[in-house]
Structure formats: structure tokens, C-alpha cells
Chains A and B, each alone.
Chain A
Amino acid sequence: MSMPSDGTGATVEPALGTLPETAAAPAAAPGERPPLWPPLPRPVLFARIVIGVALSVVALYAPFYFTPENNRIISQAIYLSIAAMGLNLLTGFTGQVSIGHGAFFGVGAFTTAILMVDHGWTFEATIPVAAVLSGLVGMLVGFPALRVRGLQLALVTLALAVLFPRLASKYVEGAGGVALLRPRRAEFASLIDGLDDDQWAYFVCLAIAVVLFVLAWNLVRGRMGRAMVAVRDQEIAATTVGVNLAGTKVGTFALSAAYAGVAGSLSVMIDRIADATSPILYLQRSIEFLVAMVIGGAATILGPAVGAFLLVWLRRNTEDLIEGKEILAPAIFGAALIAIVYVLPEGVVGGVRRLLARLGRRSAGSVARPAPASASDVPNDSINPGGTHDEGT
């Protein structure tokens, strides 16, 4: 349901997607705080369990079914989704727009690569180090970021993403004299006898992704999640209810950077390379994470994963589509992005939710949502420079 948010006094709906589980909430007992994520109606819960089990089975069986090349691509989508989830925590839930997460990804990737190539570490051991290091960098960035708002923040992070490869090429020297490291294939050999290398790599990515997503899910459902959304939607009001603004922002920055770092670390296993020779590569990565988050559905838990897979699929298929006119591939890709955002402004997950809500409404005989009583109160005086440009719904 969209409500006008035109700066003339209507309620403001969170611009970046809605909180999970917006089904009609059962009324709380007096004196009890209503649950933020209300328990789901029985049939929905059942459906979710069935789908969840089915997906798990598919996920576990997939690597044995697909070719190594395809496993590699799926693994790429998985680490992409981890990075997108990280960005989602910062941008989707806390409202701090970053187009620099590629830099944190790079920090993680190079941490792993350097530890492996120069110091002989085993890959698996480098992952926590990469996470911590990129988290620290994220925290370092998060502090000055407190002073910078919205637009400027986006640009500062953009500067970071462009800066990173330059710094890396200054201080990192690989075999060829440039900032490019290629750990040997043998380093990533499977640690389990029955599994091939690519299957092992897939499972490592999958396991880490599951852990990180569950972690994010829990975070978002708890106090921290509420604080994040409060910061996103109405910062000043948030401080008046005791939300630690700085702590929330910096903490989320650090955490999201750590996610990106883990993704970067995993990328070294999947792509077997850490490469800083291209000045815009990490900017492109940052954009990938952002796109995955948005087309999947910002401020949702499944969104980044859906978006990542969709992105990878799109890229593969636009490349194949035009024989001979490969130069058009980016154009078709760009057009596809625009089309998706047109049709599904809340991302795939948001769109599916809306569809389900509409179907549910029809079958349940129109559960009357409480009329927007808030249409008459809550004057929206907040500064909205060039904000929404509605045509007047």
C-alpha cells in the first residue's frame, strides 16, 4: 500500500522496503509490547517450512548434479549474496548508503591472498582474519562517516572504492610485479575425501552464507534491528528513545564491512585471484552488491540472496543472448536492470510479498487494515530536498 509522502504532511512510509513480516498483527494483551515480528498464520508457516525444506534439499544436492563450472558460478552467486547482505544491513536497514563496499571486499580478498601466498597460511584459517580486518577498516570508516550524510556519504564511499585498488597496487606486489595474486589451485583442495574441489568450495561458501544469514536474521529481529530501522527512518526521533546513534551506525558499518570481507575472502577460493590492477573493478563490485540488494529487495532477509542469483543469471544470459554483437551485452543488462526496478520497485521479495498479501486479502474477505489514522497527525516537517516527486496519487 503506498501512501503519499510528499512533504505536505502525510505519513512517511520507509522508502527502502518494509520490515519483514507485515502480516496483520494480532492485538497484544494490554500492557504487553506488541511483538515486532508477529507469529505467522498457520498455513503460511506450513508453506514456509515446506519451501525451506525443499530448498535445503536442492542446495545440498546441487553440487553433485552440476558441472564444476556451474558450481563455480553458483558459488560466485553465494559470495555475492553475502556481500549484498552485508550492504543490506548498512543501507537497507540502517539507511546509510554505501557504494564503497567493494573496498571492504577487496580488503578481505587481499588479506586472504597475502596470507596464503606470502605467508603460507591455509585458506580456511584466513577467513576469520579477513572478516576481522575488514570489519576494523569498516569501523575506521564508520567513525568519520558519522559526520557525513546521505549523499555525501555515498560519494565518500565511492571515493573509497576507487582508492582501494590504487593503494593496493602501491603496496602489494605479486609475481608479475603488479598487484595481482594467484594462490595455487592446490591450496584450495577439498578437505573431505568424497568431495571434489569445486564441490567442497561450494559447501564452504554455502555453510558460511547460511551462518551469516541466520546471524543477520537474528540481529534484525532483535533490539539492534529496531535501532537500525529507527536510525534509518527518523534519526532524531531515534535518539529521543535512547538509540545510540553513533554506536548503531559505526557498529553496522563494521559488521557490514566484515560481511563484505568474508565475501572477498571466499572469492579468492572461487576465482583463485586477487586483482587490483583495474582501477574501477572494486567500484564495479560495489555497484554489483547494491544492485543485488535492490533488485532482490532491500531491507529483507532473502532479498540479497535472490538478488545475487538473479544478477548472476542475468549476466550469464545477456552474454549468451547476442551472438556477434557482444558489445550490446552491457546495454541489455542495463535495460534489464531498469525493467526490473520498474516492475518490482520493492525488489523480487517485496513484489512477492505484495502479491501474497493481495491474494490473502482476497481470500480472507478483505481484512480491513486500520484506516491510516496517521494521515491526520504527524506533520512531516522534515527537510526533504528534492525528495519524492509524486504525481499526486
Chain B
Amino acid sequence: MSLLELTNVQGGYGPVRVLHDIDLAVEEGHVAVVLGANGAGKTTTLRAISGQIHARGDIVFDGRSILGRSPEAVARLGIAHVPQGRGTFTELTVEENLRIGAINRVDGEVRSDLDRWYSVFPRLAERRRQEAGSMSGGEQQMLALARAMMSRPRLLLLDEPSLGLAPLVTRELFAQLGDLNRNHGLTVLVVEQNANLALDIGHWGYVLEAGRIAVQGDARQLHDDEAVRKAYLGF
């Protein structure tokens, strides 16, 4: 059974329907990639999962339906959503940002987790007492990722992590992501425009078009399939 399963999900904003029929599954320990053009509904899909918008259909996480739950409740179940724009707490320091990630944990290992992520992202360690809002886009993205990881999530939802980042930084980011998945078993659902990098670390890919899944398949195959690439992925 998949860790996350969406069946016939519809949703949108008020009177505007964006998602028409989304069937999607993410296996535990996999990286699932959702691609598609602007407006296709990628971000909306993530929002539906994390409970930020009203949705219909079935959203099942680890055997339990999470449809209709509030974002706080979904987060507490172990789903960490890194939104577009990164969701940085700009007036707070880097370290405070990270602590917020772990705010609902009751184990005593928060300190050691902080140290761990500081060593993975040394630039964050350098700036730990700095106001988070003063960091560059790339650093804030790293911060968002580390913050999400501080909650020790079972599933990580990432919305366009490469947006606004320089290519080198993006590469580094995806390398980290791949490492977390391969060596630490993190399950990831990543929405991306940068199909290349995403599919490289991915296991399964979906291509969204106008609120529906147009194509899906093994990530490597999608990456290599010329027809798919030309039609949907633009390269």
C-alpha cells in the first residue's frame, strides 16, 4: 500500500475549479515527481494534500483519510509541506526557524538534529543568529528544507524548490534531496518545473495538464522518452 494515495481528487479556489480528477500514489521511500506547465494544478495538488484548500475525492495517508483536515492536523500526522515562497519566518533568526520545525516534537533529540542539519547545510550554521529574511533565496530554500526535516516527517511535499534559484544552487539542493531519499529513506513528493533535475532523483513521475494527469510512468523512462519530453517537458 502506498504511503500517500489520491483518488479522484477535485479541488480549487472558490468557484474556480483547478483539479478535475487526480489519481496519484507515492510509495514509501520513493521520490514522486509532479511536472507540468504553469496553471496545470501542481501547487493546488499539494495544497489539497496539506489541507489548505477544500477538496473532494479521497486522500489517504498511511491508511487514514486526511481529506478535510486542517493544515495543522495534517502536519502533525507527519507530512511536511514546503510551500512556494518557502514560508520563511522572516523576522525570526535562522535557528528559531529551525526550532519551529521541531516545535511539536516531544523527544529530546532536537539539539542533535539541529547540529546534524547545520553540518549538512553549513551556510545555515554560519547564519544561525541572523534574521532569516535577510538571506538569499537559495539559503532560504535550504532553510525551508532543513526546517521541514526538523519535524522528522514521513512525507515531504516540496513545491517548486528550484524557483528563483541559480542553477548551481538548484543542483546542490537536488543532490541533498537525493541523498536524503537514498540514504535516509525520506519519501518525497516534489512539484517542479525543472523536469530534468527532478526526474533524475525521482522514481515515478506524473505530468499534470489542466488539472488532470496526462502522463505517468517510471521517472527514468519519462526522462528518456522523447515524445513525452517534447510534448510536456519542453526539452
Chain A residues close to B by CB (< 8 Å) = 1-4, 6-10, 361, 369, 371-377, 379-381, 383, 385, 391-393
- Assess the B83–A369 pair: CB atoms within 8 A: no
- Apart from A3-B13, A385-B91, A392-B52, 17 more pairs, CB < 8 Å: A2-B14, A4-B52, A7-B85, A8-B84, A8-B87, A361-B15, A369-B16, A371-B210, A374-B39, A375-B43, A379-B163, A380-B84, A380-B85, A381-B85, A381-B86, A392-B51, A392-B70
| Contact call B70/A9, Cβ cutoff below 8 A | no
Contact of A379 among B12, B17, B53, B86 (CB under 8 A): B86
User: Considering the chains assembled together, what is the distance between the CA atoms of A16 and B16 in angstroms?
Assistant: 22
Among B16, B91, B137, contact of A372 (Cβ-Cβ < 8 Å)? B16
B53 and A4 within 8 A (CB): yes
Binary per-residue interface labels of chain B (106-136) against chain A in the complex, 1 for a CB within 8 Å, 0 otherwise: 0000000000000000000000000001000
Q: Is the CB of A376 within 8 A of B42?
A: yes
Query: Across the two chains, which residue of chain A brings its CB closest to B83?
Result: A8
Contact between chains at B40 and A376 (CB < 8 Å): yes
Contact B16 A371 (CB under 8 A): yes
The verdict on A376 contacting B39 (CB below 8 Å), with A9-B159, A381-B85, A392-B52 known, is yes
Residues of A within 8 A of B39 (CB): 371-376
Is B38 interfacial (CB-CB < 8 Å)?
yes
Does the CB pair A9–B83 fall under 8 Å? yes
Total interface residues on B, CB under 8 Å, equals 37
The answer to whether B18 touches A375 (Cβ under 8 A) is yes
Is the CB–CB distance between A373 and B85 below 8 Å? Answer: no
The answer to whether B85 touches A379 (Cβ under 8 A) is yes
CA distance A3 to B83 in the complex (A): 16
Residues of A within 8 A of B44 (CB): 375
13 contacts between A and B (CB under 8 A): A7-B85, A8-B52, A8-B85, A9-B83, A371-B210, A372-B18, A376-B40, A376-B42, A380-B84, A381-B86, A381-B88, A383-B90, A393-B54
List, in ascending order, chain A residues with CB within 8 A of B137's CB: 381
Q: Chain B at the A interface: mostly helix, strand, loop or mixed?
A: loop
Q: Chain B residues near A2 (CB, 8 Å)? A: 13-14
Smallest CB-CB separation from B74: which chain A residue?
Answer: A392
Measured CA separation A167–B174 after assembly (Å): 64
Q: A155 to B187: give the CA distance in the assembly, Å.
A: 50
- Type the 1/0 row for B62-87, where 1 means its CB is closer than 8 Å to any CB of A: 00000000110000000000011111
The reply on B234 being an interface residue by CB < 8 A is: no
* Cα-based distance from A8 to B54 in the complex (angstroms): 17
Chain B residues positioned under 8 Å from A6 (CB to CB): 52
| Contacting residue for A392 out of B12, B38, B71, CB 8 A | B71
Q: How far is the CA of A54 from the CA of B38 in the complex (A)?
A: 47
Q: How far is the CA of A31 from the CA of B14 in the complex (A)?
A: 33
Chain B residues lying within 8 Å of A1, measured Cβ to Cβ, are 13-16
Q: Which of B33-63 contact A (CB under 8 A)?
A: 38-40, 42-44, 47, 51-54
Contact A9 B85 (CB under 8 A): yes
Q: Which of B151-168 contact A (CB under 8 A)?
A: 159-160, 163-164
In the bound assembly, the distance between CA atoms of A383 and B85 in angstroms comes to: 11
Query: Which residues of B have CB within 8 Å of A374?
Result: 38-39
- Which residues of chain A are within 8 angstroms of B85 by Cβ–Cβ distance? 7-9, 379-381
Other-chain residue from B15, B43, B140 in contact with A9 (beta carbon distance below 8 A): B43
Interface centre among B44, B52, B210 (most CB of A within 10 A): B52
Name the residue in B16, B137, B210 with the highest tally of chain A Cβ atoms < 10 Å from its Cβ.
Answer: B16
Q: Which residues of chain B are within 8 angstroms of A393 by Cβ–Cβ distance?
A: 13-14, 52-54
A8 to B42 CA separation, bound complex (whole angstroms): 14
- Chain B residues with Cβ under 8 A from A8's Cβ? 52, 83-85, 87
Taking a contact as CB atoms under 8 Å apart, the answer to whether A373 and B16 are in contact is: no
Which chain B residues lie closer than 8 Å to A376 at the CB level?
38-40, 42-43, 84, 160
